Structures are given as structure tokens and as C-alpha cells.
Amino acid sequence: MEDLEFVHIDADYMSLHNSFDDIEKNSELIVEGRFIDDEKVCYERYSYEDSIQKDVLVEIISSCPMKITKVLSGGAKVGDVVNVVQREGVFMDRFISQSPLTPMQKGDEWIFCLKRTKSENYDGYLCVGGASGRYPAKNSSNNKKIRSSECSELGVYNKSDYNEEYYNQLVKKYNI
């Protein structure tokens, strides 16, 4: 994945949740897990652009299987495999990201606050609150990311997207 050109589509990633308690209430699962494969594109949406008279990609979603290694909250069991979905994927030899989160890569370990999402194109779990719903697992050594930066070990491209206050509340509450 490191060899792909990185295209980040900037958007306002402000979480719709005002507190960690709010994220927790909206999470069906709070788990620690490890990706057991690399992500695969499961949905692409196009829109016709009159100015260039072509269809353009406006949305891309990938899914990645994650094996649960620790259950903090919710009805999952250790060993269960769930699909995590993010707004990103490989398209025409480029890695397109519409997410504040770094790519989902085999072997990476994270703590997730997840909510089920289902459509005719995919069935999986989204991080509640975007970047506020995924944090690095203790002692994890996650893979090199596309567009690595000083904060890629936090799982985000921009440090401003990482909510250390929420992470500290998560660690304290679940004794991580």
C-alpha cells in the first residue's frame, strides 16, 4: 500500500458526539481487535460531472475483517470476526481516503467503538465518532501507513483528529 499515490479528500471530520459518554452510548461494541486481512473495496458511487462530461468517483467504502481479541462492552465474544468499514479504498492505482483514519491493514491492532451499518453493498461496523471511535491498542506495532506522519501511530493523518481526552477516559473506565 505504501507505493500507491495518496489522495485525501478533505472534509469536516468533527464528531457529532460531544463526549466519550455519548460515543459509548451509541456504540454497540467496544472491543480490541486485529485486522486479519487487508481492506477491500465494497462500494463505489459515481456522479456525472457536466463540466468534464464524465462520471467521477464521489464515494468509496472498504471493508476489512477484524478478529476480536478483547471485549470491553457489547455482545461479541473473543475470537468473533467482524467487518469494519471506512470511507477509503484503492481506485485507479491511488489510495483514496475520505476518512480522518489511517488505512485498515492486516496485523494492525486497535481499540474500537463500533456501530453496525448495513446496506445492499456492505454489512459491517463503523467507528462511532469517526476518529474518536478508534485508538491504538496497548503495545501494538501497527504497519507503516500511506503518508506516514508523526501521528500515524495514533491512527489519524492529522493530530487534531485524535481525541486524547476520550482515549484517557476509555483507558480509565475499561482498565486498559
116, 28 Cβ separation under 8 angstroms: yes
Report the pLDDT value the prediction gives residue 16, as an integer from 0 to 100: 67
Provide DSSP, 29-93. EEEEEEE-S--EEEEEEEEEETTTTEEEEEEEEEEEEEEEEEEEESS--TT-EEEEEESEEEETT
Give the pTM: 0.85
Report the pLDDT value the prediction gives residue 129, as an integer from 0 to 100: 85
Paired residues of 64 in beta bridges: 84
124, 39 Cβ separation under 8 angstroms: no
> pLDDT tens per residue, the chain (176 residues)?
567 777 767 655 455 678 899 999 999 999 999 999 999 999 888 999 999 999 988 888 999 999 999 999 999 999 999 999 998 888 888 888 878 888 888 999 999 999 999 888 889 999 998 888 999 888 777 765 555 556 667 787 777 788 889 999 999 999 98
| Cell 476480536 belongs to residue | 68
Close Cβ partners of 103 (under 8 Å, ≥ 6 residues apart): 1, 39, 86, 88, 95, 97, 145, 146
Report the pLDDT value the prediction gives residue 12, as an integer from 0 to 100: 53
Report the pLDDT value the prediction gives residue 157, as an integer from 0 to 100: 72
Report the pLDDT value the prediction gives residue 92, as an integer from 0 to 100: 86
Residue spans of the domains in the chain: they are 5-174
Q: How far apart are CA 161 and CA 97, in angstroms?
A: 14
Report the pLDDT value the prediction gives residue 24, as an integer from 0 to 100: 95
Sign for the CA dihedral angle at 169, 64, 106, 46 comes to: negative
83, 118 Cβ separation under 8 angstroms: no
Which residue, among 79, 152, 60, 69, has the nearest Cα to 112 in the 3D structure? Answer: 69
CA atoms within 13 A on the CB side of 58: 8
| CA-to-CA dists, residue 167 to 67, 84, 103, 126, 152, angstroms | 21, 19, 20, 18, 16
Number of H helices, E strands in the chain: 2, 10
Report the pLDDT value the prediction gives residue 50, as an integer from 0 to 100: 93
Q: How far apart are CA 153 and CA 141, in angstroms?
A: 8
